[in-house]
Structure formats: C-alpha cells, structure tokens
Structure 1
C-alpha cells in the first residue's frame, strides 16, 4: 500500500529521511485490533520529530508516520482513530497515564497510509456533521488543546475565564482559541508574526499581541507550547494563583524556572499530554454542538506527502495540513 514512512533518521534534514512509496499492508491482527481504510490523515510536528529520531529508534525502521486519521472500518462504519495506544486500567481509567503508552508511528505503524491497524477501542464514530478531512485533524493537536483548555487549565466550566495562548499559528494554538471561545472564555493570543496575529483575531481571539507584549490584564491561565522563548512572559502574565498548562517546548525545554515568582504568586505549573479516548468523544460532541471546525490550510493527495512535509518543516502553516489516500 502507499504510505509516507521514515526509512532512516536525520536530525539535520528530516525530509531526507522520508520515503513516499509502497509499504506492507497491515498483516494478521490480534483479535481486538481492526484495520481501518484511511480516508484522510493530518500532519503534526511529531512526524518531523520522528524523522529526526526523537521518540523513534532506528531498529523500528521503516516506520509509517502519522498519528491522526479518519476512515472506514471493514463493517462500513465511519470512524476517527484515537492515536494513544495504551491500557486505561494501567492509568486509572486514563490511557495517557499508562507508563507503557505509545502513539501511533512510535511502536505501531501510523496513519499516513491507505490503511492503519489499531485496537478496536481506539475507534470513535465520526459524526456525519464533520468531513473526513476535518475529523482527521482532531486526534492529536485538537485533542491536546481540548485537554489543556477544558481539563487542565482550571477555568470555570461555565465559561468566563481569561486565557493566554502563546504562539499563534500551530495546530494546538489555533484549536485552543476556537475551543476556548466556544466554551465561553476570553482569549488573548501572542505571535511574532503579524499575519498569524491577524488570522488568530479572525478565529475569534479577543485580543492579539506581539510576543512578550504587556497584556491589558493578568489572566487566569496560560497555554504554553513554546517553552524557553515565552516562559518568562507566561509567568508575568498570570494573576496570583493562576496556572500555566504546558504541552510542549518548541523553542527549548529548559527555561529559567523563576521559582521566586512561582512561589510568591502561588502559581501552578501543570503538564498535559494528548488526551483520552473519552475526551476525544467529548471533543467531537463539542464540535457538533457549537459548529466550530478545524481550519484546514491545504489538502494534498498522499502521493504528494513530501510537499506537505516541506511546508510543515518551513513553518508556513496556520491550521492543519491534510493528506488523502
């Protein structure tokens, strides 16, 4: 079958490690696994990290890339694929807390292919209101944003909180803006790029600012995916007792801790990784109820996966890039 795969690891030039060509079909599967015919799959920075060798060992090559997909089961059901392969019982009902959890494309072949095999419990019915392309954007970036905003930020469930999203443009940050507005919060967004600030405002952000700019007031929570470049600003932006939710550190993972500000202002720093299958179900219901949809910047055929990867690597993205077998 046609697939986009890592065939070697290259920390300096990840696209040189990418192959778009034939890979084996899913073989004999355990009784509780199923092969899904992929109708759409979306890219994430995780795919570039894999090509660089982050989280993917050389002895697992070749590895089909991709975490996100929507497709059709052998029984004809339209489904969304949950990317976290783990045991809910090992995490107290949350598979993301299973110490042996893994994402598709780390241990098991991923979604950038004509078919992907997953445990049957990892399938969620796709609502008819969402296209396959829209649904394929949800399992990683949108689910990560949903958990950060709804489950981890400590904001009022009925809305009315104030949230800062650092770094407009990426899949998680655009999702966070739309989700936070849909559930009734005030949203501030920062970016170094004027065009991305304009697009964040068009998504519904209440105010947009250059990176590091002084905000009109302190916020209840900050969503932090940038890391070292924005960490100090995130701490200064919080009201006393506020909370930073961290799910990434694209500019560097070890910023100065500024512990004096953390303890004096009684701030909380909370980690967040992906989301559970149950949260994916809730996220789909939120999209159906509110009408918000993932911004899809461009759709390519799977055969042109290299073009999509090149655009992702260049950073010229606002929203999601989708491949269709």
Structure 2
C-alpha cells in the first residue's frame, strides 16, 4: 500500500528523512479495525518525528500521521481519534494515561492508504463534513477545542488571545471562539496572515512585537519560546494561559513574580479525548462551523506538502488523499 513514512531522521532537513512508497498493509490486532483512508492531514508532530525528537515505539521506518477519516470494510464512515490510551488509567481521561501514545508513535500512522485502529477510536463521520474537513479534526481542531472549553473553560464574552494566525490550531481556535461568542485577539508576524485572520472573524489583529494590554481572560499558545513572555504579559490577573505546543523551542524563561502576584493560571493541554472529539463534531454540525483547509493534495506529494508546512506559509490545514 502507498504510505508516507520516516526512513531516517534529520534535525536540519526533516523532509530528507521522509519517503513515500509501498509499505506492507497492516494486520489488525484483536479489537482493532482496518480502515481505508479517504483523507489525512499533516501535523507538526510528524515533523518532530522526522527531526528525531520523537522516537516511534517500533523504530524506523515508521508511517507518519495522527489524523485521518475513512471507511471500514462494511462502508461505515469514521473520523479517527488519534490518541491511544486507557481512560481508566487516566482517571476518566485517556490523554492523562501515563502510557498514552498516538497512532504514529505506536507504529500505526495514518498517512497511508490502509490503517488499523482500535474500535474505540472510531467516531462516526457526519454527512455534513467533507472527507478533507473531517481529517482536520483529531489533532489541531480537537486541541483547540480542549484548550478553549475544557482547560480554559471559556464562556461567551470572554476575551481570548491566540498566538499565531495561520496554523491548524490557531485557525481552529479563531473559528471556534467566534462561534462560541468570545472576543478574539490574534497576534501574528505576517501581514498577509493578519488580513486573513480578520477575515476569519478576529475582532483585533496585532503584529508581533506590539505591546499588548493585559486584559485577556484566556491566552492560547502553541508557539512556545518565542511568545511565552508575551502570553504571560497579555493575560489579566486571575486569567489563564493554555500551552499546547512549542514550535519555536522549549526554553522559555518565566517571570515567577508576575505569575504568582497576578495569580495567573498556566495549564498544559495535549490533543483531547474521544468524548471531546464527539462534542467537537456536534458543535461543528450544529453551529455550521467548518475546518479551514489550506489545500488538498495527493498522498504521493507528501514531501512537497511537508516543505510547505515547514515554510510557515500555509493557512489552515494541509490535507492529503491516498
């Protein structure tokens, strides 16, 4: 079967470690289901694997991908939940399972024509969502949903700041926040993305380096090192900063005096539960919100698509079809 996989690692040139070609079709373990993939989307987690920062359990080569939507052998349509975990070990939340993993790290990546997943990870796909839209949900959109509503507990009227304008989580956060009645400020370094963020519905878009008022109830940060000081400075006393990624690095100094004197809540967040994915899908169907798809391309162009992702010029999610 056709698949995009890491055959090596390269910290400096991750795309050089990527291959697209034939891989053996996976055999489902007990309790797992074979799925024919209709669409899958790219994530920065795949890039970390190509760089060697993430070590797959089965070693290399390793099929990449944590997001997909497809059909089982009976023709049932599903969105694939990418988290492998036991809710019982996570006190009701599989993302808190100490043994939690994701499909690609466990050797069952989704950038392939055929995949196998646990039956529990199959969430029915509604007819209202296209295959490409459905493939955007399990990582970026689920992450944004959990950050906003599970972690930050954002409520209508809250002021939310989103660090970054073009990534999958950022665009999802803007659209979800607006649909939920939140006031949205976006920070970006790219003037073109600033215009597009405003088109998505951001109430205010400011350029990186601008001094921000400390008035936000919630700050969502997936950038990390480059934006951390700004994120802590932009939240009101008693407000919440939610961190779910660090695409610019992990070494971010923190002003501890500001943290405790202003009683800022700092929360980490990673992907989301199957239940939250069901809730997200229900939210999209009921509210008419749809994932922003940057582009849809054949799976055999995965190398080119990862290069685009790394360039920082995409706006929304990059989707590939086997």
Same fold (TM over 0.5): yes
- Counterparts of 1:127-166 in structure 2, within 5 Å, are 127-156=126-155, 159-166=156-163
Query: Which of 175, 196, 200 matches 1:203?
Result: 200
- Counterparts of 1:278-297 in structure 2, within 5 Å, are 278-297=275-294
**Are the aligned partners of 2:297 and 2:320 in contact in 1 as well (CA < 8 Å)?**
yes
Tell me the CA shift for residue 220 of structure 1: 0.3
Tell me the CA shift for residue 216 of structure 1: 5.5
- 3-state SS, counterpart of residue 90 of structure 1: coil
Query: Which residue matches 2:86?
Result: 87
Q: In 2 relative to 1, CA 103–207 (structure 1 residues): closer, same or farther, beyond 3 Å? A: same
Distance in 2, Cα, partners of 1:180 & 1:35: 35
- 3-state SS, counterpart of residue 8 of structure 1: coil
- Structure 1: 5+ residue runs without aligned partners? none
- 3-state SS, counterpart of residue 60 of structure 1: coil
The alignment's TM-score, normalised by the length of structure 2, stands at 0.97
Query: Which residue matches 1:14?
Result: 14
Tell me the CA shift for residue 57 of structure 1: 4.7
Structure 1 vs Structure 2 CA RMSD: 1.2
Residue 275, structure 1, aligned to residue 272, structure 2: yes
Distance in 2, Cα, partners of 1:216 & 1:91: 38
Distance in 1, Cα, partners of 2:306 & 2:229: 31
- Counterparts of 1:190-229 in structure 2, within 5 Å, are 190-215=187-212, 218-229=215-226
1:25-51 per-residue CA deviation (whole Å, 9 max, x = no partner) reads: 012x22210011000000011111111
Which stretch shifts more, 123-132 or 208-217?
Answer: 208-217
Q: In 2 relative to 1, CA 58–33 (structure 1 residues): closer, same or farther, beyond 3 Å? A: closer
Q: In 2 relative to 1, CA 280–59 (structure 1 residues): closer, same or farther, beyond 3 Å? A: closer
Residues matched between the structures, number: 322
Distance in 2, Cα, partners of 1:67 & 1:178: 22
**Are the aligned partners of 1:9 and 1:58 in contact in 2 as well (CA < 8 Å)?**
no
- 3-state SS, counterpart of residue 292 of structure 1: coil
Distance in 1, Cα, partners of 2:318 & 2:187: 22
Residue 252, structure 1, aligned to residue 246, structure 2: no
**Are the aligned partners of 2:56 and 2:104 in contact in 1 as well (CA < 8 Å)?**
no
1:45-65 per-residue CA deviation (whole Å, 9 max, x = no partner) reads: 111111111112596111000
Distance in 2, Cα, partners of 1:123 & 1:166: 31
